[in-house]
Amino acid sequence: MVQKRFFAMGCVLAALCAASGSPSFAQAELTTAPTPRPAPISSDSHKGGTLRLAAQNSGGTLDPQVSYISLIKQLETPVYDGLLAFPKFAGSAAQPVIANLAEVVPQPEDGGRTYRFTLRPNLHFSNGQVVRVEDVAASFRRLFKVGSPTAGPYYSHIVGADACLHDPARCTLAGGIETDPTTRTITFHLTQPDAEFLDRLAWFHAAILPASTPPHDTGNTAPPGTGPYRVTRYDPATGMVLERNPYFREWAHDAQPAGYVDSIQVTFGLDPEGEVTAIENGQYDWMYEDVPLDRLGEVGSRYAGQVQIYTLLLYYYAALNVRMPPFNSLKARQALSYAINRHAMVIYHGGAAVATPLCQLLPQGAPGYEPSCAYTKGASPAHPLPQWQAPDLEEARKLVRESGTAGQKVTIIAPLEGRYAAMAMELRSTLASLGYDTSVRSMTQTVQFPYVQNSDNHVQIALTGWNADYPSASTFLQTLFTCASFRPHSDNSPNMSAFCNPDIDALMNKASAAALTSPAESRQRWAEVDRALMAQAPAVPLVQIKRVSLLSKRTRNAIVTLNDEILLSQLQVR
Amino acid sequence: MMMALLRRLGQTVFVLFGISALVFLVFFATPGADPTARIAGRNASPQTMEKVRQEYGFDRPLPVQYATMMKKLFITQDLASYVDRGELVVPEIARAAPVTVSLVCGAALIWVVLSIAMGTIAAAMKGTWVDRGLMMLGLIGISMPVFWLGQVANLITQSRYHDTWLFSWVPGLGYVPLTENPWGWFKALVIPWIVLAVMFIGIYSRVLRADLVALSGEDFMRTARAKGLSPTRILLRHGLRTSMVTFVSLFGLDFAQLVGGGALLTEVVFGLPGVGRLTYQALTNLDLPLIMATVMYSAVFVVLANAVVDILYLFLDPRVRDAR
Amino acid sequence: MTAEAPPPPGPWRQAMRGLARNRASMAALAVLVLITLSCVLAPLYARDIARTDPFTSNVAGSIMLDGHEVDIMQPNDNPLHLGLSPIGPTGHAAYLLGADSQGRDVAARMLYGGRNSLLISSCAAVLCLILAAAAGIAAGFFGGLVDAVLSRLMDIMWAVPVYLFAISLSIVTVSQGLKLGPFVVEADSLLIPIVIIALVYVPYAARPIRGRVLALRQAEFVTAARCLGVPRWRIVLFDILPNVTTTLVVLGPLLMALSLLAESALSFLSIGVQAPAASWGTIIQDGEGLIYTRPMVAIAPGLAIVLVVLALNILGDGLRDALDVRDAARRSS
């Protein structure tokens, strides 16, 4: 689901800008509180000031192991750290994970079943406590105790995780995580090799928290973290304030750079139109939401210098239920793929500068992406073209005739929100022109997303989007199209097409396994999977979109990373 | 008197129970309303779903769930949203209420003053073009969809003529707390006040005029005229005072409805984070705890206002008092 | 009541005569007829004049204007090439009022939208009157337990602000449709807004009717009929109902005006008429996203609503004066 958006990263400046915190902030319970030393004087004059952000709504809980909302993730990226991190700098080199709280990225041992980390020394939480290996182990146990959304999909390969999933309250992860305080080592044992284990240790939910953090969702309280900022005020209705963490010393600039501004103030409640006006008038520095479509022209002409446009690992697609007529017919599915006008879809998102037509299941930027379009004028699954050209209505009508499905009733289930509604109408027009009796049912996204996953609701075609938590092919292909990810009668069954093909599953397993030994081979195999899936057309990919982010005139140093989008800690204000 | 009050109280409790039970049942009968998957997060494992289901008690019988929810809402007040995990709903309403109250009070002031003026003038000049003109204005006010009027107001003040001297003072959409910046509060609310008041000015001035005109035929008005009192004095001292009974009761009900969330269209159009918008968001997200809380909040207001109006009637209008 | 004699030519014809003399009412009636007619002729306009299909998305299309081919969605002129805007009012038969964000002809959609808006509001008003008459007469005439149950039910409905009530019902039904035993109502059926709007206004209409019936029950001719042993259903049908009709007739246009406003509000919140069908409310909603660039899309349907509601209110006033019904509902909110 597209929870609006997720992730990016980058960082470039090498100035050490640790905060000068007041000792009075240290909390009572701390045991080994060091006296905060004055920060090293930086020659960088861009430090200081207050960054003012605006977002339409708050995102609920602040618990970094529970929240799955991109706003919270983006705001808390400079608050929490994992053992590893996605690089905080821009560019194509920013792909593999790097060491964060750990000293180095370990080599897998035991055929990918064991990983040994050494914790950096002298790291402190924002309450002054030293980060110990026990905190690391406790944080992974807590993932299961609080029922983190990714506990199952991301961390269940750790030895003992199964027991934790079944009985979270008594989770020990015995045999899964071993710690040695004297050498500061943490050893993970996996039940089977996991090609993405390191990415998952860098993922937001694997944040390291004090062992004393309560084993339940902390809600509106943010537990202490290790990053350059800490949350000092949070009111879901009005706003949030982040201030410098007095105990933060930069340990690895590429992994968690020190921040520039002294505090970050977030205001909730403005709608995107109001946010654009306020940023144009200099009342805010950045808005979380996209610039609304009807303001793109104005922003592009009068504020072009304040705009950041960057690609996201996010695309929209129509999932076709392969177990229900008419889309249980391959020809009917292919017909729709040929007929859909992706140029129109691009227009709904603001034109070619903002969106790109997509006719494959791996988006640009994901590992294994090789441009390929099987369903466009002049192409076929056997002879794909590198790019989408134009819809092929003749071919589509021919396929519908052959499938014998013309005239059947089709109901599109789409989210109510603006651009989805427009895309759903376009889809409806296309299906109608192919001779189907088509209607659209809309519901809010929060309701629609679980609804279309549940096979009991007999959804024929669902309009939705998918984004990656971190760049990986499996997020798009394995999560969405394997036999195992189809869970009948459950609201949580991301394989909305109910697609299950053991041959393709086997291909995916091979591609996944190859990642441990030969990343290049793995990428090549994922590209093959992508093409093999598209030949079966279990979904109609529509567009991949870019984010259009508006900054105020006084804001500088916008660093856009693939995983954490714009790095808030690196923004400077004049 | 005591008995009447007690009976009224019993009825109120009954109505509140009826509404809450209805909301609860409708929610669980709606397909796609099961909040487990939404709370657990996308692609959560079946075990995590199971944990959430137990933690939130979705596996228990409906009456137990209903009782738990009522307890959490009214007694412990720690009912949390199903959509924004961890967000408590009672403080959320407590934060939204001042916004709505600010909006409605300002609008009420405008509509009461203007409608009394318009209604009285129209009644005094009955049959003239002033009367017809004012009443036609009122009718136009009644006929405008409030959300559309709000949009047009936004178009004029925020976009088209924002750069002219006339509207350059209008701040961006949104709410400014009174305690933070009274002048900003006023500036942010002035246009929403007027837009919300327009329809009520129409209704109230027409009702008032009709009442005044009807009263002029009554005996006590004729007596007053016979005593030689001036027409203005008769209209204001006798007519207006008597008409106020209807006016006040009408006002009580409308005011309560608006404070209880009936102003949601105005709130939506002007981006005011009030109770109405909160209710609307809760409804569209099928966020049961928030729906329950907001609906209870608004029902309490409306039912109380009904009761107050009835009791006021009892005191104000001897005819009703004797009829009981 | 034993009146076998033909009813005197009296009250109804007199009322109609009074109405005919009321110039404002006649003008309102003319406006209503005119708007209704043009909406009825929507398919003709779309096919022969505008030559578009107002229900098909057409963002990638183009039209001929003065011999030039013009894109319906025009790229904005800015260095970043951000965004596109739909074509504005053209002043030609095609896209007279411009296009909406899906490249559809706004003028043609206005006419089709008017059909739905008028149909829903008139049906809702009629249905509401029937329900309210049934409830009001039952409560007023039978009293006792019936009255108590109905009144409590009304209390519950009354305790939630009207729009909130309508919105709740719509949200539940609009995404799922309705299944009542063998009857299945599709989610995009117009029946859903009709029934919902009718339902939420029942308490408003039932109250004055109940009051009127309460008064009638004490009337001499009803007492007389009772004493004569006339069955109760006959009294209701032949004595009470005819005397309530004036109230119903006066309430009719007012309720239709309220229904039209409610329909537009629901559609504005996307829980009334479902796309691609249009109503004036949905067009205002489409226009909301274009308010800064193409304000006409939102303004035109709003003006249509104001015109029709105003005409209905004037007509209602005229009827009230002509029929001399004083206590008909004057509330709306």
| Contact list, C178 vs chain B (CB under 8 Å) | none
A343/chain C closest Cα distance in angstroms: 7
Q: What digits encode the pLDDT tens for the residues A401-420? A: 999 999 999 999 999 887 89
Beta carbons of A220 and B88 less than 8 Å apart: yes
Which pLDDT value is given to residue B317?
Answer: 59
Beta carbons of C162 and B262 less than 8 Å apart: yes
Is residue A571 a contact partner of residue A261, using CB atoms and an 8 Å limit? yes
Residue from C152, C154, C156, C170 whose CB has the most chain B CBs within 10 Å, to mutate: C156
Residue from B23, B137, B143 whose CB has the most chain C CBs within 10 Å, to mutate: B143
Measured distance CA(A553)–CA(A573) in Å, rounded: 9
Measured distance CA(B70)–CA(C198) in Å, rounded: 31
Q: How far is CA C182 from the centre of its chain?
A: 28
Of the pLDDT bands very low, low, confident and very high (cuts 50, 70, 90), residue A263 is: very high
Please state, for a pLDDT cut of 70, what percent of chain A lies above it. 91
Beta carbons of C79 and A354 less than 8 Å apart: no
Which pLDDT value is given to residue C20?
Answer: 82
Which pLDDT value is given to residue A39?
Answer: 44
In chain C, the domains with their CATH numbers are 18-85 (no CATH), 106-332 (1.10.3720.10)
Average pLDDT over residues B190-219: 88
pTM of the model: 0.86
Q: Residue A463: beta bridge partners?
A: A318
Residue of C281, C298, C313 lying closest to B151 (CB–CB): C298
Q: Is the peptide bond prior to B177 cis by the omega test (within 30 degrees of 0)?
A: no
B149/chain A closest Cα distance in angstroms: 18
> Could you tell me which residue, B43 or C71, shows the higher pLDDT?
C71
User: Given the structure tokens 């934790």, which residue do they identify?
Assistant: A164
Which pLDDT value is given to residue A138?
Answer: 96
Measured distance CA(A552)–CA(A554) in Å, rounded: 5
In this structure, the strands spanning A572-573 and A565-566 are unpaired
Is residue A337 a contact partner of residue A320, using CB atoms and an 8 Å limit? no
Beta carbons of B155 and C175 less than 8 Å apart: no
Measured distance CA(C133)–CA(B291) in Å, rounded: 32
Chains contacting chain A through 3 or more C-beta pairs under 8 A: B, C
- Does an H or E element contain A128, and which? none
Measured distance CA(B203)–CA(B141) in Å, rounded: 8
Which pLDDT value is given to residue B318?
Answer: 54
Q: What digits encode the pLDDT tens for the residues C23-34? A: 888 999 999 999
Of the pLDDT bands very low, low, confident and very high (cuts 50, 70, 90), residue C325 is: low
Average pLDDT over residues B75-103: 87
B287/chain A closest Cα distance in angstroms: 9
Which pLDDT value is given to residue C227?
Answer: 85
> Could you tell me which residue, B6 or B67, shows the higher pLDDT?
B67
Which pLDDT value is given to residue A177?
Answer: 95
Residue B187's Cβ-side half-sphere holds a number of Cα atoms within 13 Å equal to 15
Give B228-284 as a DSSP string: T--HHHIIIIIIIHHHHHHHHHHHHHHHHHIIIIITHHHHHHTT---HHHHHHHHHH
Domain spanning B96-323: CATH 1.10.3720.10: yes
- Does an H or E element contain A395, and which? helix A393-403
Average pLDDT over residues C156-177: 80
Range in A22-26, A552-556, B229-233 with the lowest mean pLDDT: A22-26
A557 to each of A53, A260, A309, A560, how far by Cα in Å? 15, 10, 14, 9
Q: Is the peptide bond prior to C276 cis by the omega test (within 30 degrees of 0)?
A: yes
Tell which B residues from 37 to 66 touch A, by Cβ distance under 8 Å.
37-38, 40-49, 51-52, 55
Which two structure tokens, joined as six digits, stand for C149? 């149950």
Residue of B140, B151, B257 lying closest to C333 (CB–CB): B257
Residue from A273, A289, A290, A293 whose CB has the most chain C CBs within 10 Å, to mutate: A293
C102 inside 8 A of chain B by CB:
no
A414 to each of A167, A323, A445, A460, B25, how far by Cα in Å? 37, 19, 8, 11, 26
Which pLDDT value is given to residue A497?
Answer: 95
Which pLDDT value is given to residue A1?
Answer: 44
Looking at residue A24, what DSSP letter applies? G
pLDDT at C57 over 60: yes
pLDDT at A34 over 80: no
pLDDT at C262 over 80: yes
B252/chain A closest Cα distance in angstroms: 29
Specify which of A122-136, B256-270, C275-289 reaches the highest per-range mean pLDDT: A122-136
Range in A560-564, B232-236, C71-75 with the lowest mean pLDDT: B232-236
Average pLDDT over residues A229-238: 89
Measured distance CA(C255)–CA(C251) in Å, rounded: 6
Contacts of C156 (CB under 8 A, 6+ apart): B15, B18, B19, B22
Beta carbons of A297 and C76 less than 8 Å apart: yes
Any alpha helices (H) in A16-132, and if so which ranges? 70-76
A289/chain C closest Cα distance in angstroms: 15
| Contact list, A479 vs chain B (CB under 8 Å) | 43
For B40, nearest residue in chain A (alpha carbons):
A149
Chains contacting chain C through 3 or more C-beta pairs under 8 A: A, B
Chains contacting chain B through 3 or more C-beta pairs under 8 A: A, C
pLDDT at A154 over 70: yes
Of the pLDDT bands very low, low, confident and very high (cuts 50, 70, 90), residue C212 is: confident
Q: What digits encode the pLDDT tens for the residues B50-88? A: 888 888 888 888 899 999 999 999 898 888 888 877 778
| Contact list, A299 vs chain C (CB under 8 Å) | 82
pLDDT at A227 over 90: yes
B21 inside 8 A of chain C by CB:
no
Measured distance CA(B200)–CA(C157) in Å, rounded: 22
- Collapse the DSSP code of A127 into the 3-class scheme (helix H, G, I; strand E, B; otherwise coil) and give the result: coil
Beta carbons of A351 and C270 less than 8 Å apart: no
Residue from C58, C84, C179 whose CB has the most chain A CBs within 10 Å, to mutate: C84
C48 burial level (CB within 10 Å; 0-12, 13-18, 19+): exposed
> Could you tell me which residue, A466 or B176, shows the higher pLDDT?
A466
Average pLDDT over residues C120-148: 90
A42 burial level (CB within 10 Å; 0-12, 13-18, 19+): middle
Average pLDDT over residues A429-456: 90
Average pLDDT over residues A304-330: 93
Measured distance CA(A19)–CA(A34) in Å, rounded: 15
C126/chain A closest Cα distance in angstroms: 28
Domain with CATH 1.10.3720.10 in chain B: 96-323
Which pLDDT value is given to residue A262?
Answer: 95
Tell which C residues from 8 to 67 touch B, by Cβ distance under 8 Å.
none
Neighbours of B4 (CB within 10 A): 12
Looking at residue A361, what DSSP letter applies? S
A432 inside 8 A of chain C by CB:
yes
Beta carbons of A60 and B45 less than 8 Å apart: no
Beta carbons of C60 and A343 less than 8 Å apart: yes
Of the pLDDT bands very low, low, confident and very high (cuts 50, 70, 90), residue B155 is: confident
> Could you tell me which residue, A162 or C91, shows the higher pLDDT?
A162
Contacts of B324 (CB under 8 A, 6+ apart): B4, B314
- Collapse the DSSP code of A355 into the 3-class scheme (helix H, G, I; strand E, B; otherwise coil) and give the result: strand
C255 inside 8 A of chain B by CB:
no
Residue from C58, C72, C80, C185 whose CB has the most chain A CBs within 10 Å, to mutate: C80
Which pLDDT value is given to residue C183?
Answer: 78
pLDDT at C269 over 50: yes
- Does an H or E element contain C194, and which? helix C191-217
Is residue A120 a contact partner of residue A132, using CB atoms and an 8 Å limit? no
Beta carbons of A447 and B96 less than 8 Å apart: no
Mean pLDDT, all residues of chain A: 87
Q: Which residue, among A340, A455, A462, A427, has the nearest Cα to A389 in the 3D structure?
A: A340
C271/chain A closest Cα distance in angstroms: 9
Range in A15-29, A276-290, A537-551, B64-78 with the lowest mean pLDDT: A15-29
Measured distance CA(A266)–CA(A400) in Å, rounded: 52
Beta carbons of C176 and B207 less than 8 Å apart: no
Q: Residue A177: beta bridge partners?
A: A188
> How many CB pairs below 8 Å do chains A and B form together?
147
B92 inside 8 A of chain A by CB:
yes
> Could you tell me which residue, C239 or A557, shows the higher pLDDT?
A557
User: Given the structure tokens 């909110």, which residue do they identify?
Assistant: C333
Specify which of A51-60, A336-345, C231-240 reaches the highest per-range mean pLDDT: A336-345
| Contact list, C82 vs chain A (CB under 8 Å) | 291, 296-297, 299-300, 307, 350-351, 353-354, 548
pLDDT at A232 over 90: yes
Mean pLDDT, all residues of chain C: 85
Measured distance CA(A120)–CA(A117) in Å, rounded: 9
Is residue A412 a contact partner of residue A440, using CB atoms and an 8 Å limit? yes
Is residue A87 a contact partner of residue A570, using CB atoms and an 8 Å limit? no
